[in-house]
Amino acid sequence: MLSRGTTQQSSAPYNRRIVLDVIRRHGQISRREIVARVSLSPQTVANITNDLETLGLIVARRLTGAKVRGQPPIAFELNPSAGSSIGISLEPGRASAALVNLVGEILGRRELDLDTHDPRRALAVMIELIQDLRQRPGTTERLWGVGVALPGPLVKTDISFLGPTALEGWSDLAVLDELRESTGLQVFYSVDSVAAALGETLFGVASSLDNFFYMHFGVGLGGTLVVNRSAYRGANGNATEIGHIPAVPGGKACYCGNAGCLERYLSVHSLAEALGVADAPNRDALIVAELERNTDPALQAWCREAADRLRDAVCVIENTLDPATIVIGGSAPKILVERLVNLAQPLHHSVRGGVAAANPRILLSERQEDSSILGAAVLPIYDLLSPRLEVLHQDRHAEAGVADLMGQRDTRRVGRL
């Protein structure tokens, strides 16, 4: 899908986002090529690129090796030093954080074990992580904000904040307002699967895709449908919670009150239970060690069952949504995800099978194990970069800084993406 600018009144912030998004997607692109892709006049594109250069969001470089007469043409690219953001991923038992620049490079990261049953303790740990990363070398003066990724569903429902794969014991997200007040930074939050899907859209294997399904394989199991590079959230923001889809009739009891739910068979917590290490403080290291040895009958039996459930899940997703591909990422060890995908072959027949397509039915994230924190860090950047249509309808006054020039939302309160 081509990005298109608009001549609608007060559309300048939207058009700047369109141009910035095209530059990001192509890595390096000339002004003439931008004009061809966004359907704006050469003068409008020139004005926009001048604005973006003045803000320091892009840099101009001469294209070396270009076979043209006279001076080589100028190409634009994102400026890695234009700013950074901090991403925090909260999972049961662990908090991970990373400092990420505008082109998706991780400049620093930290991880702490954490009893996530206590929101107050989680708040203290998040503040500690942010303070540490703000002092790291490479931190720019311009810090776009903090993104927090959490296991869903986050809107209060019958199955919110229940069980060992969620933030058990929480009742709301009031601590995020306190995080904003304590740090003085803009704070954005999202379900971990949505955050990671947006990360794949901006900087990952899905950067060239407009539509795909993202499967978040971590302590639990989640998913996000991406349509036109935006996450589909559903009526209440709880869409595609695939981990709680009953998949095995009369199967294992689930924390949500149902039985046979998908994540009871396909999740890191499920594997930890099978290996008897669910409560071990070094759970992930023990799992990786067992995977590398590959001698435990319990591990092998679990992998076979989990691969069957993965095969079923892929078929259901494809027949229901017909995505261009299914991207699998999350905090699960890469060695585990690769093994399950291999064991799941051949996949069930579906509407995607036999279709001539540019993408395989399953793509593995290149940021596996970093998906969650990169996705969290993307949230403030996404709010800045994404050409969202609602930017067209915002009432803008004097355009004094980046937030106004880019049509960034009012973030005096914590924002959900």
- Can you give the CATH number for the domain in which 51 is found? 1.10.10.10
pLDDT at 410: 53
* 348 found inside a domain: yes
The pLDDT, as a whole number, for residue 165 is 93
Lowest mean pLDDT among 2-11, 93-102, 114-123, 336-345: 2-11
Q: Which two tokens stand for residue 46?
A: 């020139």
Is a pLDDT exceeding 50 seen at residue 10? no
Residues 187 and 212 in one domain: no
pLDDT tens digits for 42-85?
Answer: 999 999 999 999 888 899 988 765 555 656 778 999 998 888 99
In this structure, are 13 and 155 located in the same domain? no
pLDDT band for 413, please (50, 70, 90 cuts).
Answer: low
Number of neighbours of residue 102 by Cβ within 10 angstroms:
26
Please give the backbone phi and psi of residue 394, each rounded to the nearest 5 degrees, phi first: -85, 140
> Is residue 321 pLDDT above 80, yes or no?
yes
Say what the pLDDT of residue 44 is. Answer: 93
pLDDT at 389 over 60: no
Region 211-215 average pLDDT: 97
Bond before 323 cis per omega within 30 degrees: no
pLDDT in the model for residue 216: 96
**What is the mean pLDDT of the segment spanning 309-316?**
97
**Rounded to two decimals, what is the model's pTM?**
0.86
**Residue 25 shares a structural domain with residue 38:** yes
Let me know if residue 231 belongs to a domain: yes
- The fraction of the chain above a pLDDT of 90, given in percent, is 57
Question: Distances in Å between the alpha carbon of 316 and those of 134, 204, 257, 313, 348?
Answer: 43, 24, 22, 5, 10
Task: Based on the fold, state whether residues 287 and 328 are members of the same structural domain.
Answer: yes
Q: Which domain holds residue 295?
A: 206-364
Whole-number Å distance between alpha carbons of 107 and 136: 8
Cβ within 8 Å of residue 171, ≥6 positions away: 156, 161
Rounded Cα–Cα distance for residues 258 and 414 (Å): 33
Residues 324 and 375 in one domain: no
Do residues 130 and 159 share a domain? yes
- Number of domains composing the chain: 3
pLDDT at 319 > cutoff 60 = yes
Q: Are residues 380 and 403 in the same domain?
A: no
pLDDT of 340: 98
User: How do residues 92-125 score in pLDDT, each as one tens digit?
Assistant: 989 999 999 988 889 899 999 888 999 999 999 9
Listed residue (149, 27, 141, 165) closest to 98, CA to CA? 149
pLDDT confidence band for 368 (50 / 70 / 90):
confident
pLDDT exceeds 90 at position 396: no
201: in domain: no
Closest C-alpha among 345, 271, 265 to residue 309: 265
Same-domain status, 93 and 62? no
